[in-house]
Amino acid sequence: MPLSLLALAAGAFGIGTTEFIIMGLLTQVSTDLGISLPTAGTLISGYAIGVAVGAPVLTLLTRTWPRKRLLLSLMLIFIAGNAAAAVAPGYGWLMAARMLTSLTHGTFFGVGAVVATGLVPPHKRASAIALMFSGLTLATLLGVPAGAWIGQHFGWRSAFWAVAVVGVAAYAILALFVPRDQGRPQLPPLGQELAVLGRVQVWAGLGITVFGFAGVFALYTYIEPLLRQVTGMSDNLVAVTLLLFGAGLAAGNLLGGRMADRGVMRALLLTTGGLMAILALGPWVFGRPLVAMAYTVALGTVAFATVAPMQMRVLQQAGPAGATLVSSLNIAAFNLGNALGAWVGGLTLSGLGLVSVGWAGAALTGVGLLLALWSGRMSACAPSIGQSRQCA
């Protein structure tokens, strides 16, 4: 794999750290700012909504920019947003800082995914996307537990300062290793690029991502209070469990890439169905620390095994003309799913208690699985040239 893919992974690590770090700090933030736990959870939803809005807007506004210039500009916004979060005097400021930071997310991953697939042969494209997203999994493996540890010892604001420093390091790595000869992208006319939004299968793919991945965040948003209040874990054991979750994400990310290289739709159905089943077990697994830890690893593995198949599915349906826009839209769809999951999980928590968030997640992912089955049937029933439609 080209070295520039590792540079993209470094940027993904920085952005992923700021997205997920708040999950290990929810209790501290809610106490320090005098807000409820569900309100603190909206800091995750707010970030996700910022990604959903910012991804298509920034992608279209910067479509003619050289790739390296765009990636470096996004990292500067990222650094500024995390510094603003670190000095936030209240909830409103912190939400605004989180949303500023989120504007970088969708465009970085959307453009990065297209660049990644262009660096390797066609049969390695899903693995290339998985390698870039390994920065995101490394963020959960190292960034979230490290952020939780920094928050416990030095306060949650120090954790955001640390993420800003990570952003500076990622900026330097991108500046060094992303080649300048990427130049201006070869673009189709804007109307041709927007025309892909009229394809039903593109919207089906985006819907699969929204609902399929929403189930993860219905549970994972509240993983810290689940481990503390239900399982009764200490601070150190919570940090270890979050580390194990990150290890599961890393393994699942690579697994999903390899599965998708062998068949995108089959990988999509298997991983989404597996995720729904794992989430459905949520209410029964947090009573004992060892069981909760094993479950967290399994959840992380299956959750990120869905990422490469979901991303490749929309890229297949968009084609070359709309790849960059649809790729960014799918990153927005992931984060819209994050927001939906966190919101539904919060509603379920308020009404039925912490342990019920797994059922809410399974229901959301079940909608994504149904959409995947429907989309697959549409593809199977599409007539080939010179043939009639085989099913209705």
Q: Are 150 and 32 in contact (CB under 8 A)?
A: no
Task: Note the Cα 210 to chain centre separation in Å.
Answer: 11
**DSSP 8-state assignment for residue 82:** H
Domain boundaries, the chain: 3-180+187-379
pLDDT at res. 128: 76
- The tokens for 297 are 């690893």
Other beta carbons within 10 Å of 32: 13
**DSSP 8-state assignment for residue 35:** -
Question: Using CA of residue 163, residue 166, residue 172, residue 176, what is the dihedral sign?
Answer: negative
Task: Give, in order, the Cα–Cα distances in Å from 25 to each of 40, 63, 96, 190.
Answer: 9, 36, 17, 42
Question: What count of Cα atoms within 13 Å lies in the side-chain half-sphere of residue 241?
Answer: 28
- The tokens for 184 are 């201006």
Q: Are 160 and 85 in contact (CB under 8 A)?
A: yes
**DSSP 8-state assignment for residue 310:** H
Q: Domain 3-180+187-379, what architecture?
A: Up-down Bundle (1.20)
The segments of the chain whose pLDDT lies below 70 read 1-2, 118, 140, 179, 181-189, 320-321, 380-392
pLDDT at res. 294: 92
pLDDT at res. 392: 42
pLDDT at res. 186: 64
Other beta carbons within 10 Å of 297: 19
Report the C-alpha gap between 288 and 230 in whole angstroms. 9
